[in-house]
Amino acid sequence: MVSVFPKNKAWPTVIGTILLNSAENGKLLAVLDATYITKVRTAAAAAVATEKLANKDSEVASFVGCGGQTMLHVEAIDYVMPNLSRFVFYDKNKEAAEAIANRISHHEVVVANTIEECVSQADVLTTLTPSRSPIVKGGLLKRGVHINAMGADAEGKREFDHATYKMVDIWTVDDFDQAVHSGETQHAYKKRNGLMACMPWPKKGEGREISSLSEIVGRVKKDQITLFDSTGLAIQDIAVADYIYKKDN
């Protein structure tokens, strides 16, 4: 059960509760705080994608958007990428970026003055904003960067421009239908003659394709640009809730 109140200040904008029931007899097993669990599973998904797709020798992780999700993404990505040595943060509210940066003591930390400064350094780029217009331009990206596009989770949201889409060599999603409707992928697709045709990719079998995260093995070349479009799945919340319940019982 999830509610969204975008104007919240003292409380999170997204507040949720999980009722965990037995798959055997329907008995209520636990009531859990979905707000935190959703943050955990979102960061975990980004970490899985990063571990699969980022270059293993990546040194710089950049984060655009420094809200309630960011620190968990820092921890999760750092966990799977042992060679990271620098974290770069950017937020329109510089105090938010500084607050995250001040919590990190084991790596070099940079608070960028511009989004361009933040993006251009990244070997791993994670975007966590509610933007509805492109804020990251493809011309800023390093060859070989892995992108976690976490912000777009509703119709109309987007963080990247079309130049970025044309540069991506491997595009992966958590769920195809949901990504086409709500994720960054919605802007890489256009409807033609009743069919969903990928932009700039041709239809299935005629060029580069979009794959689910479960299908991806890894990159082929070091200089490929890879992108994970995360919209978030309820099954991920249930998996984490089940893990917590079993661990505590």
Report the pLDDT value the prediction gives residue 160, as an integer from 0 to 100.
96
Is 30 within a domain? no
How many structural domains are present in the chain? Answer: 1
Instruction: Kindly report the average pLDDT of the chain as a whole number.
Output: 90
Is 136 within a domain? yes
Is 19 within a domain? no
Q: How far apart are CA 61 and CA 145, in angstroms?
A: 10
pLDDT in tens, 26-61: 999 999 999 899 999 999 999 999 999 999 999 999
Is 236 within a domain? no
Write the DSSP string, 92-119.
SSHHHHHHHHTT--SSEEEE-SSHHHHH
Cβ atoms within 10 Å, residue 223? 11
**Helix (H) / strand (E) containing 40:** helix 34-53
Structural domain including 89 reads 56-231
Q: How far apart are CA 241 and CA 31, in angstroms?
A: 9
**Helix (H) / strand (E) containing 120:** helix 115-120
Is 14 within a domain? no
pLDDT in tens, 48-106: 999 999 999 999 999 999 998 999 999 999 999 999 999 999 999 999 999 999 999 88
List the 14-21 sheet strands across, edge first: 2-4, 14-21, 28-33
Q: Which of 227, 223, 57, 50 is nearest to 142 (CA)?
A: 223
Please report, for the domain that includes residue 102, its CATH number: 3.40.50.720
Is 172 within a domain? yes
pTM of the entire predicted model: 0.89
